[in-house]
Structure 1
Amino acid sequence: MMNVKHPTIKKQVFDFIIRNGLVSKVDLMARLTITSTSLSRLLEELLNDGLLLASELGRSTGGRKPILYRVNPEHRAVFGLEISRFTSSIGLYDLNLKPLAFERWQMDDQMTPERLLNKITILAETMMSDCQIDREKVIGIGIGAVGPLSREEGIMLQPRNFPAKGWSNVPICDWLEQRLGLPALLDNGANTAIIGEHWALRNEEVNHMVYMHAGVGLRTSMISSGQIVRGAVDMEGSFGQMIIQTDGPRLGDEGNYGALEALVSIPALEKKIRSQLKLGRTSSLSDIPPEEIQFDALRRAFLQKDALVTEQFLQTATYLGIGIANLINILHPEAIILGGPLVNVHKTIYETVIQVAKSNIYYSPAYEPKFSQGQLTEDAVTAGAAIMLLQDWELS
């Protein structure tokens, strides 16, 4: 597994250029603590290494036109991988984080860790071959996965609600390093998603941001002053355990009674609609045995304007809006990005969540954070995993 190190000044120069596109030496001098002579030497090294290209001349301010530097996108490549309970995906990216190849697939009850490992190996090898990229040019593979996990040890610990068996204490980094011969780095999918979205918004300089993913569970992450906020323990699923109904239901045999996740998640929604159907409520799903009803059927029924399903989806969106308002009232972020299959079913769901959240923000209207579904949407985890690994990559 990769060791996370404090970036050298050479890496800081490279990272600044990769984030800002075309950059002059003056731009770098204004942002970094470095002498002009040292910066010239580092830029020359990066050019000789093939990591940078000297691009077109910039606008003159009276003297010679400055040289502009940019990253050479073809010099190296990096993999990003998402491992989730609903879908998973892998992408191969160049140094500008442009996807060269991408594949997404459903996670079913046959997708054990061993089967997933085989699939990832085949896809990665195929992508490198099809894109004509030598293994030596690939920096490594960043992984955004469902928690809880050990980032330091590269292990997925005890994630709940995977359709297949065997998802317990999975040493995913070691396995992938052995199969692919590439360094691997693991973090929560919510963290890699917010890394990706923060990257996509880099020109807007958003310092404080919250990401929330609503799917099989509720997953959250936060960036403050440009850095991931990490607690003493894995925080990814903590938002879902916020109690909003003291005498409310419990999801399965774990977690708090009346927790948000017991009211807002795919399993919770499936459970509520199955219960209503057993009570005799009419629906376009009435011909399906209640216990066989899955989220895909609920999504189709919502899009077909089924009254029962619409009612339950909107109730779920209302609870989610309340939960997000509670989060906003504690953290006061500048921006909130909402993702996941529950929110992405239809714009009506997203708009309901936002409307309820906004109506319960304590300092409104003086304080009005920006809401969005993000720039990268469902690809945020995968792209963010690649960016995470690129950020931790040590230049020689």
Structure 2
Amino acid sequence: MQLLSIHERIGSRKHKEIYELIRRQGTVSKIDLLEQSQMTGSTLTRTLEELTAQGWLVEAGFGESTGGRRPILYQTNPLAGHVFGLDISRMSSKLILCDLHMNKLESKSWIMDENMTPVRLLNEIAETALAMMEAHGLTADGVLGMGIGAVGPLDRFAGVIMEPLYFPAAGWRDVHITSFLQEKLGFPISLDNGANTAIIGESWSDRNRDYRHLLYVHVGVGIRSAMMSNGKVVYGAVDMEGSIGQMIIQTDGPRLGDHGNYGCLETFASIHALEQKAHSRLKQGRESSLRYMEKDPDKISFTHLVQALKENDPLTVEIYSQAATYFGIGLSNLLNILHPEKVILGGSLISSHPSFFQMATRVAIRNTYHYPTYQVVFSQGHLGEEALVTGAAIMIINQLTEV
């Protein structure tokens, strides 16, 4: 099936430049655009007229007069197209449908249990997307595409989820997700790892602040990360999403299961690490309210730990504090190497209790070499757990102005 590429929808470089300027600012006057674009008045007028005629822009009233005629205000047309965002994670997956102003029109979530195989999930995603389109009167031509933020490692060019760990269901290996969904839905599908889509989402939500270098770290079942420099996601020779989790913190440390580095960060600061630590401590005879939640120590889960932490159970507080300290050490290593201006921390472990974020960032700052000369902003982001799926949809809109 031959599909029109998203970046071909807006034709010329001039059209893309003006569309992007307006998109980033929301509502802009022609006078401001003339100043920002360096175009001649006649070229700008013609470009605005053509984008408006094509339906990409709409006039949004008049600005304040500075002595002459009130300037026309322009904004992008939210109904010029629609986009899907899809987050595929180990604990849950989510699909959203949005207009071009990122107003969410529909959403659907799936619990990723032992029955949610790739075949089942992808079929349900396709059926749900088609149902959403029908409910809103959309054809495939009216959808720019679907962006997917998924657990890595993956091949974003081939559109393949390669061999991710810790999925409850079997079959998550060499999943050709983009070709499957493209054939079912009839519009372009783009794949990237979830950390990259999350940083795209968070960067867009904070676009009025001029942060040039951003770091995003997602701490949950595993540790996922992304870096953005000068507004662009930084890519390596291979998918880097899980690489931070393999940073060695203790050379003679333990190993999670039968994979990864011994003594790596993920072994000390992840949901699996916390669960294993709790199992071990309970078997050693440590007293804890966890014993009253589940008789079998091996059945203590992250949900139990979150509840025990809210009750200030001493053992759980100790386990959390150790994990936050180790994570802070790993974070300080990243700060000393990358020197981002802002660090966004997300994921279920970060959001489970304020103490984890607070302790980890304090430890990171204490171990940052150039502090206080080097100042970094720590944040839990504006989008929270919606960052991955929102960024996946924004990734598609961003392609409109790619050259």
Q: Which runs of 5+ in 1 are unaligned?
A: none
How far apart are the structure 2 equivalents of 1:262 and 1:81? 28
How far apart are the structure 2 equivalents of 1:181 and 1:296? 40
Task: Check whether the contact 2:87–2:93 (CA below 8 A) recurs between aligned residues.
Answer: yes
Could you tell me which residue of structure 2 aligns to residue 15 of structure 1? 20
Task: Check whether the contact 2:6–2:188 (CA below 8 A) recurs between aligned residues.
Answer: no
> For 2:106, which of 95, 101, 104 is the aligned residue?
101
How far apart are the structure 1 equivalents of 2:209 and 2:135? 35
> 1:297: Cα distance to partner?
2.0
How far apart are the structure 2 equivalents of 1:395 and 1:223? 17
Task: Check whether the contact 2:82–2:144 (CA below 8 A) recurs between aligned residues.
Answer: yes
Could you tell me which residue of structure 2 aligns to residue 304 of structure 1? 311
Superposed CA offset, 1:321-376 (max 9, x none): 11111101111111100000011101122111111112222221222211110001
Say which SS state the counterpart of residue 51 (structure 2) adopts: helix
Could you tell me which residue of structure 2 aligns to residue 345 of structure 1? 352
> 1:126: Cα distance to partner?
2.8
How far apart are the structure 1 equivalents of 2:83 and 2:6? 16
> 1:33: Cα distance to partner?
4.8
Task: Check whether the contact 1:83–1:89 (CA below 8 A) recurs between aligned residues.
Answer: yes
Could you tell me which residue of structure 2 aligns to residue 388 of structure 1? 395
Could you tell me which residue of structure 2 aligns to residue 367 of structure 1? 374
Could you tell me which residue of structure 1 aligns to residue 78 of structure 2? 73
Say which SS state the counterpart of residue 219 (structure 1) adopts: strand
Question: Which sits farther off after the overlay, 222-231 or 349-358?
Answer: 349-358
> For 1:113, which of 87, 112, 118 is the aligned residue?
118
How far apart are the structure 2 equivalents of 1:64 and 1:259? 64
> For 2:252, which of 247, 250, 257 is the aligned residue?
247
> 1:45: Cα distance to partner?
1.4
Could you tell me which residue of structure 2 aligns to residue 176 of structure 1? 181
> 1:23: Cα distance to partner?
1.1
> 1:219: Cα distance to partner?
0.7
The count of corresponding residues between Structure 1 and Structure 2 is 396
Aligned AA for 1:68?
L
**Sequence identity of aligned pairs in percent?**
49
> 1:4: Cα distance to partner?
7.9
Aligned AA for 2:300?
I
Aligned AA for 1:331?
L
> 1:395: Cα distance to partner?
9.4
Superposed CA offset, 1:286-334 (max 9, x none): 2431222222222222222222122111211111111111101111111
Could you tell me which residue of structure 1 aligns to residue 58 of structure 2? 53
> For 2:265, which of 249, 260, 265 is the aligned residue?
260
Say which SS state the counterpart of residue 327 (structure 2) adopts: helix
How far apart are the structure 1 equivalents of 2:199 and 2:280? 35
How far apart are the structure 2 equivalents of 1:344 and 1:18? 31
The 3 A distance-change label for structure 1 pair 61 and 83 is same
Are 1:327 and 2:330 counterparts? no
Say which SS state the counterpart of residue 204 (structure 1) adopts: coil
Aligned AA for 2:383?
L
The 3 A distance-change label for structure 1 pair 352 and 157 is same
Are 1:276 and 2:285 counterparts? no
Aligned AA for 1:375?
H
Q: Which runs of 5+ in 2 are unaligned?
A: none
> For 1:203, which of 179, 201, 208 is the aligned residue?
208
Aligned AA for 2:320?
F
How far apart are the structure 1 equivalents of 2:161 and 2:60? 43
> 1:263: Cα distance to partner?
0.8
How far apart are the structure 2 equivalents of 1:190 and 1:12? 27
Aligned AA for 1:299?
V
Per the normalisation by structure 1, the TM-score is: 0.95
Could you tell me which residue of structure 1 aligns to residue 94 of structure 2? 89
> For 2:196, which of 191, 198, 204 is the aligned residue?
191
Task: Check whether the contact 1:2–1:185 (CA below 8 A) recurs between aligned residues.
Answer: no
Q: Which runs of 4+ in 1 moved over 4 A?
A: 1-7
Question: Which sits farther off after the overlay, 1-10 or 382-391?
Answer: 1-10
Question: Which sits farther off after the overlay, 138-147 or 175-184?
Answer: 175-184
RMSD of Structure 2 on Structure 1 (CA): 1.9
